[in-house]
Amino acid sequence: MGNLCSLFTPPKPVKKRKPITKRQSSIGVSSSGSGLNSNRWNNRVRSSSSRRDNKFEDAVIQEHALAAAAVLFRQQNGGGSLPFDRSASQRYQGSCSKKNQLPRSSSSRSRSSTDPLLQPHQFLNQGVKVDDLETNHFVLIHGGGFGAWCWYKTIALLEEDGFKVTAIDLAGCGINSININGIASLSQYVKPLTDILEKLPIGEKVILVGHDFGGACISYAMEMFPSKISKAVFLAAAMLTNGQSTLDMFSLKAGQNDLMRKAQIFIYTNGNENPPTAIDLDKSLLRDLLFNQSPSKDIALASVSMRSIPFAPVLEKLSLSDANYGSVRRYYIETLEDNAIPMTVQENMINSSPPEKVYRLKGADHAPFFSKPQALHKLLLEIARISST
């Protein structure tokens, strides 16, 4: 079943913070007999700033913990798999009338009298209203091993701009309880996505965003429900051609990505004489492979949340037609510091099946929702604003 022991690396020792010794404040006297000691004053300012940063980080950690607890509560009390359409961000209170509400800000600055008395969703850049767009509904599809949890920053940013956001746990991922080793087809793996699209009211459309292996998943959905998809965004994703599998795409980089080969751990639930049932990634190599530009807190979240990748869907060749898949407008977002899907592979997929437009995220690793959330958010807004005419 592969060397699963390598997934569990010993925990790093926790560094104890040195206690802060209170000192009696004093004013230094210069050689002329008056004036402040600038070095001591600067040290006091830096110390105060450090304490504020620590308090802010503690507040963020507590907020994420509360969000995780809410998800677990839903899972334990509701059962089954639910779309992850919530975020850890604060919401507008329904008790207030819309005209009196102020826009939320991710800044810690005080509210200014010059701030606009409008909801964020009442205006976008260049004066485009959310309600005037073809659709204001994003559906986010995670990559292999990830779950809906990886989109928490993107969910918060889009919701604050007035968009509806649905982040889905595919079969066997996130809090979905299906056994990953029992998934035998791509259709079974993407069923949580196709269920949502199937239930959309007639005339309603969504913008699909697929990351990594999620690119193959949204391609499958584009072929099945082209009339329900306004646009498709491939984010460092597998953008395949007709008759191609995700494994075919991976094989293109096999010779140049030794790190990916080292990280892969194949699981043989049905015995070594049969094909693998799933793929794990060595946790000790996650930072270098997927998160080389991401914050440490997000890497820690991923290391305890990522699950195995089902192998059968990776092998499946897609059947894509011009009439269905080809009728949906496609956009590709390249991640320039990506060690999992290198730029050469991304460019090869783009050249093989050119999308309507290609965007580049400078400084983004394979997880741009962690490493470049604000820049990603701006690109998604730009794509949403593109007219259908």
pLDDT in tens, 167-204: 999 999 999 999 999 999 999 999 999 999 999 999 99
pLDDT band, residue 19 (cuts 50/70/90): very low
Does any domain span residue 35? no
Does any domain span residue 170? yes
130 or 10, which is more confident? 130
pLDDT band, residue 46 (cuts 50/70/90): very low
Q: What average pLDDT is seen over the chain?
A: 77
Q: Which of 121, 338, 365, 377 does the annotation list as catalytic? A: 338
Which pLDDT score is estimated for 96?
Answer: 36
For the purposes of burial, counting CB atoms within 10 Å of the CB of 2, is it exposed (0-12), middle (13-18) or buried (19 or more)?
Answer: middle
pLDDT in tens, 84-133: 443 333 333 333 333 444 344 333 444 444 444 334 444 444 455 787 78
**Pick from 210, 228, 47, 67: nearest CA to 143:** 210
Does any domain span residue 44? no
Among the listed ranges 17-31, 114-128, 336-350, which one has the minimum average pLDDT value?
17-31
Which pLDDT score is estimated for 261?
Answer: 86
Which pLDDT score is estimated for 62?
Answer: 55
Which pLDDT score is estimated for 328?
Answer: 97
**212 catalytically annotated:** yes
Does any domain span residue 91? no
Which pLDDT score is estimated for 130?
Answer: 80
99 or 311, which is more confident? 311
Q: What is the mean pLDDT of residues 360-373?
A: 97
Answer whether residue 155 shows pLDDT above 80.
yes
pTM for this prediction = 0.70
Q: What is the mean pLDDT of residues 334-342?
A: 95
Does any domain span residue 144? yes
**Phi/psi of residue 165, each to 5°?**
-130, 130
Which pLDDT score is estimated for 258?
Answer: 79
d(CA 140, CA 377): 12
Among the listed ranges 37-46, 188-197, 205-214, 232-241, which one has the minimum average pLDDT value?
37-46
Number of domains in the chain: 1
Does any domain span residue 305? yes
Q: Which of 212, 280, 282, 298 does the annotation list as catalytic? A: 212
Answer whether residue 236 shows pLDDT above 90.
yes
Q: What is the CATH number of the domain that holds 335?
A: 3.40.50.1820
**366 catalytically annotated:** yes
Are 195 and 139 spatial neighbours (Cβ–Cβ below 8 Å)? no
Does any domain span residue 103? no
Q: Which of 142, 211, 366, 377 does the annotation list as catalytic? A: 366
Enclosing domain of residue 275: 126-385
Q: What is the mean pLDDT of residues 337-354?
A: 94
Answer whether residue 24 shows pLDDT above 90.
no
Does any domain span residue 121? no
